[in-house]
């Protein structure tokens, strides 16, 4: 067990030496990988921050049912029973027009203007609390309630939040596409780097095969090289994203203060950070494996 662990640690140290045999070239390769991975990772982090803010602001969705101005008390009671019997509704609240006018006076500061009105322009209303928070089901329920007798208008509160959520879904798909394209590019970078190493070490590989080295033994250092280079690129991407968020938080704090908000951009979570590092390491390993499988079989002892 200790012998195996020592062997793998030795291969890992050799891979690090190969990466930084030319410090500038090694640093540039890692920087390229880090910058490429930081683009989708940074976009993903921004989308996650916006999503959390939307969830916090929108809260529990509500549907406001505004009654017709000439609705009778009996019609209101009938509508209340229909709403109580609707299985898609968790609860309702009736807001009489007089109470709505009083709330408007206190919330707007226009008490003098409202007091000068000849009659109350506000209708009676029901505040409906749906059971589901899914956008399609909410819109279907709103359309259903709008057709009930005595209802003048049915308005879905926080509809803007659901429109923004749809935009965020589009953004997540765009991030996945960008991540896929850049992943192919990073695999190609590692593939080419390993190919050059195999060509450079061709004579060493031939000698190793002559003395009985197996393909797996010869392949292992190249796979370690690719995985290690990918991991270092993932660390670089994490640092780039974290530094970018810190730089953005300073002007964002001043902007949020103008709107009486404490919104800040949060960095990648521990789970997302681990996923980023493992994914970058996997891309490096994949590029190395493809390159070794493609070129190592062509080298035979002469």
Tokens 């670089």 -> residue: 236
Same domain, 169 and 233: yes
Same domain, 124 and 8: no
Is residue 223 within 8 A of residue 198, CB to CB? The reply is no
Same domain, 42 and 170: yes
Q: What is the pLDDT of residue 236?
A: 94
Same domain, 182 and 247: yes
Q: Per-residue pLDDT tens for 157-201?
A: 666 666 777 777 888 888 889 888 888 988 888 888 888 877 777
Q: Per-residue pLDDT tens for 44-99?
A: 888 888 777 766 655 567 888 888 877 777 878 888 888 888 888 888 888 887 77
**Mean pLDDT of the 118-131 span:** 78
CA 64 to chain centre: 31
Same domain, 113 and 146: yes
**Mean pLDDT of the 104-112 span:** 57
Q: What is the pLDDT of residue 107?
A: 56
Same domain, 218 and 272: yes
Q: Following CA atoms 221, 225, 228, 229 in sequence, which dihedral angle do they give, to the nearest 10 degrees? A: 180
Same domain, 12 and 148: no
Quote the domain boundaries for residue 202: 2-57+162-298
Structure tokens at 289: 């494996």
- CATH number of the domain that residue 125 is part of: 3.30.70.3040
Strand order in the sheet with 125-130: 89-95, 125-130, 63-67, 151-156
Kindly give, in sequence order, each residue whose CB lies less than 8 Å from that of residue 180, ignoring residues fewer than 6 positions away. Answer: none
Q: What is the pLDDT of residue 92?
A: 86
pTM over 0.95: no
Is residue 264 helix, strand or coil? coil
Left, alpha or beta for 47 (phi > 0: left; psi -120 to 50: alpha)? alpha
Q: In the chain, how many domains are there?
A: 2
Final residue of a structural domain among 157, 183, 208: 157
Same domain, 45 and 34: yes
What angle do helix axes 23-58 and 270-295 make, rounded to 10 degrees?
140
Same domain, 104 and 52: no
Report which of 66, 71, 56 is spatially closest to residue 128, judged by C-alpha positions.
Answer: 66
Report which of 83, 68, 60 is spatially closest to residue 138, judged by C-alpha positions.
Answer: 60
Same domain, 102 and 123: yes
Final residue of a structural domain among 157, 188, 206: 157
Structure tokens at 83: 């709403």
Final residue of a structural domain among 157, 172, 191: 157
Same domain, 252 and 200: yes
């Amino acid at each position: 067990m200790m012998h195996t662990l020592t062997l793998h640690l030795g291969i890992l140290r050799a891979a690090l030496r190969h990466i930084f045999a030319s410090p500038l070239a090694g640093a540039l390769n890692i920087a390229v990988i880090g910058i490429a991975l930081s683009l989708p990772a940074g976009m993903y982090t921004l989308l996650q921050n916006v999503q959390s803010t939307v969830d916090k602001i929108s809260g529990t969705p509500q549907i406001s049912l505004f009654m017709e101005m000439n609705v009778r008390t009996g019609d209101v009671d009938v509508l209340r029973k229909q709403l109580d019997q609707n299985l898609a509704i968790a609860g309702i609240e009736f807001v009489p027009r007089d109470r709505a006018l009083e709330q408007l006076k206190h919330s707007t500061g226009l008490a003098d203007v409202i007091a000068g009105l000849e009659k109350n322009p506000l209708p009676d209303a029901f505040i409906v609390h749906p059971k589901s928070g899914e956008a399609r089901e909410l819109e279907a329920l709103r359309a259903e309630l709008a057709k009930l007798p005595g209802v003048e208008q049915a308005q879905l509160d926080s509809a803007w939040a659901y429109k923004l959520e749809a935009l965020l879904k589009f953004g997540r798909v765009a991030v996945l596409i960008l991540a896929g394209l850049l992943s192919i590019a990073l695999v190609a970078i590692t593939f080419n780097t390993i190919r050059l190493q195999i060509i450079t070490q061709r004579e060493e590989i031939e000698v190793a095969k002559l003395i009985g080295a197996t393909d797996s033994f010869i392949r292992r250092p190249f796979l370690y090289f690719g995985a290690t280079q990918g991991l270092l690129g993932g660390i670089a991407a994490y640092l780039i994203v974290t530094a970018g968020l810190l730089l953005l938080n300073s002007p964002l704090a001043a902007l949020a203060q103008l709107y009486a908000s404490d919104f800040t951009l949060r960095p990648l979570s521990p789970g997302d950070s681990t996923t980023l590092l493992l994914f970058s390491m996997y891309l490096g390993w994949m590029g190395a494996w493809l390159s070794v499988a493609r070129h190592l079989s062509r080298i035979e002892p002469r």
